[in-house]
Amino acid sequence: MSSLCVLPPECLLQPFTVPQRLMLGPGPSNVPARITAAGAQPILGHLHAETIEIMNQIKSGIQYAFQTQNRVTLAVSGPGHAAMECAIFNSLEHGESVLIAINGIWGERAAEIAERIGAKVNTLVTSAGGYFTNEEIEQALDKYRPVVFFLTHGESSTGVVHPIDGIGDLCHKYNCLFLVDSVAALGGTPICMDEQGIDIMYTGSQKVLNAPPGTAPISFSERACQKIFNRRTKPISYFLDMNLLANYWGCDDKPVLNIIKKEVAEYFHKGLGEMGLKLFVQDKKARLPTVTTIVAPPGYDWREITGYIMKTYNMEISGGLGPSAGMVLRVGLMGCNSSKANVDKVLEALADALKHCHKSRV
């Protein structure tokens, strides 16, 4: 062959410069230096003894973060969506009944995934910013008799943290597995998997855990393992088949994730109130501390506000998502980004944006 038809692209002949930004959206969050340094370590083979040791440390770290002693605890290679699919693909079979609580976009996506594998999808729905009482959940469990109940712990599209206490007991009363999505909440608001009777729980690395995207911790209780390891049919996904993943990970022992920090949401909420801005979630106990949803200031275009802050302060905040689209601004305070210094920065940026962005007559 005498010549190349497709020439090397000019853009790949020089390094790409990545800007340094303060990531205060609903995720990803900034990654601490010691974690980026760990990512620069030499590559190991997937069956090297050191790799097995690292995997065991990761498992122990996840057990600590989840507050569980579950032997089947590991990290899925992929984003939070991969863990969501892993949980649903393994716990449900075609034709089985599932109950999904929808108070934002993540419940909607779980329902679509379950529908795609042929499960009988039943939903419990409330408006953006709302959550469900245990009485409402029990009524739905009694009505639909599902094998799995799905609930989003931290609904980042609306800024709601859902109460967990008592729900596990209700699920087990109706012979149902309790599946919890804690992608935007774990590490920023308390949750104890074993104590609260959660059967399946997962999170994402790029939120409060302050790691690069692409790793999704997940854990299964013994009750869940009885279900998923005694299926009539194989899971629809080979890559996410827990029979294979659990075997590869070994699923036993010990410590690594140790920079989960206390959040400073109340300090931020107080500052917003002093500026005259309103919080979208009215019930204080239902506010997700890792992602604050602010009612979009009347008369302003939220896109202009977020664009001004990015351009002027090199700082990311976001607009709404799914049911909250156009209604809110979202600010993430996760892990190492959760500091009063960063709160002061975002309050200053918001105040400046409201002065300089166009305001129409409402």
pLDDT of residue 165: 97
At CA 331, angle to CA 329 and CA 336, rounded to 5?
Answer: 175
- Contact yes or no for 204/27 (Cβ under 8 A): yes
pLDDT of residue 173: 98
pLDDT of residue 256: 46
Q: 291: exposed, middle or buried (C-beta count within 10 Å: 0-12, 13-18, 19+)?
A: buried
CB-based contacts of 275, cutoff 8 Å, min separation 6: 347, 350, 351, 354
For residue 193, pLDDT beyond 90: yes
Mean local confidence (pLDDT), 71-95: 97
Beta strands in the chain (DSSP E): 22-23, 72-77, 97-102, 120-125, 148-152, 154-155, 160-161, 177-181, 200-202, 215-220, 291-295, 315-316, 318-319, 328-332
328-332: strand order across its sheet = 291-295, 328-332, 318-319
pLDDT confidence band for 46 (50 / 70 / 90): confident
Q: pLDDT tens digits for 131-179?
A: 999 999 999 999 999 999 999 999 999 999 999 999 999 999 999 999 9
Annotation-wise, does 361 bind a ligand? no
Q: Which region among 61-65, 154-158, 261-265, 266-270 has the lowest average model confidence (pLDDT)?
A: 261-265
Helix, strand or coil for residue 200?
A: strand
Residues 59 and 44: their CA atoms lie apart, in Å, by 18
Residues 273 and 184: their CA atoms lie apart, in Å, by 24
Mean local confidence (pLDDT), 44-69: 91
Q: 55: exposed, middle or buried (C-beta count within 10 Å: 0-12, 13-18, 19+)?
A: middle
- Contact yes or no for 161/265 (Cβ under 8 A): no
For residue 87, pLDDT beyond 50: yes
Residues 19 and 324: their CA atoms lie apart, in Å, by 29
Task: Show the tokens assigned to 199.
Answer: 């059967």
pLDDT of residue 84: 98
SS3 content of the chain, % helix, strand, coil (to 5): 35, 15, 45
pLDDT of residue 250: 87
pLDDT confidence band for 265 (50 / 70 / 90): confident
Which CATH number does the domain 22-29+259-360 belong to among 3.90.1150.10, 1.20.140.160, 3.40.190.10, 3.30.70.20? Answer: 3.90.1150.10
For residue 352, pLDDT beyond 60: yes
Q: Are strands 291-295 and 328-332 parallel, antiparallel or unpaired?
A: antiparallel
Q: Which region among 76-80, 113-117, 288-292 has the lowest average model confidence (pLDDT)?
A: 288-292
End-to-end CA distance of the chain: 67
Q: What is the mean pLDDT of the chain?
A: 92
- In the chain, the amino acid numbered 4 is L
For residue 255, pLDDT beyond 60: no
> Into which CATH architecture does domain 45-248 fall?
3-Layer(aba) Sandwich (3.40)
Q: Give the domain ranges of the chain.
A: 22-29+259-360, 45-248
Q: Which of 207, 115, 199 is nearest to 156 (CA)?
A: 207
Mean local confidence (pLDDT), 49-59: 91
Q: pLDDT tens digits for 295-306?
A: 999 999 999 999
